[in-house]
Homo-oligomer: A and B are copies of this chain.
């Protein structure tokens, strides 16, 4: 029988990897469809809003990476125990996503002079500000991003971290020991360790 879940995304980690982490964490069998850039122009018009990842489950299709990750997190019990806990987790995820968006604006800038002008504020102000606050948040939360225990906020952060580092052209958490420990904790989970060993090796 085909797996119950089918995730379609590019052959990179980026926005898809937090979802793949969560599916693996819960041992949910999934079809890991990876679209080549050459196939993309043909496939793009078939996507709900011209974007990936998409998740198919029970004959239905959903798009938007963070909502998909939240859905899978509920199936694998890495969500909150009550509505406020879910809010704490969601806020942490959105904050990491804000950081991603700020790195993306820099990464995708094509004008070299403009990119250079953006580098100063990004690397001297914005990144340190976020990382310092996230570091303090982990300290307050028993070594996790929210709720004092492992939640999908940690899976989201570690799942997308390679992509953040790729865009920043450096290890953004090198000087953030608590964030490093979140990373080490997630990567040491047997299900995630096994996934990283077997997943396709990609440039991002």
- Assess the A91–B75 pair: CB atoms within 8 A: no
Q: Does A200 contact B (CB under 8 A)?
A: no
Select from chain B the residue with minimum beta-carbon distance to A55: B87
Given contacts A49-B130, A49-B133, contact A83 B95 (CB under 8 A): no
- Assess the A48–B133 pair: CB atoms within 8 A: yes
Q: How far, in angstroms, from A62 to B83 measured CA to CA in the complex?
A: 12
Select from chain B the residue with minimum beta-carbon distance to A130: B49
What B residues does A64 contact at CB under 8 A?
90-91, 94-95
What B residues does A94 contact at CB under 8 A?
64, 66-67
Q: Does A203 contact B (CB under 8 A)?
A: no
Q: How far, in angstroms, from A88 to B67 measured CA to CA in the complex?
A: 8
Shortest C-beta distance, A73 to chain B (Å), equals: 10
What are some 29 contacts across the A-B interface (CB < 8 A)?
Answer: A48-B91, A48-B133, A49-B130, A50-B129, A58-B84, A60-B84, A62-B87, A62-B88, A62-B91, A63-B95, A64-B90, A64-B91, A64-B94, A64-B95, A66-B90, A66-B94, A67-B87, A67-B90, A67-B91, A67-B93, A67-B94, A68-B87, A68-B91, A70-B86, A71-B83, A71-B87, A74-B83, A74-B86, A101-B101
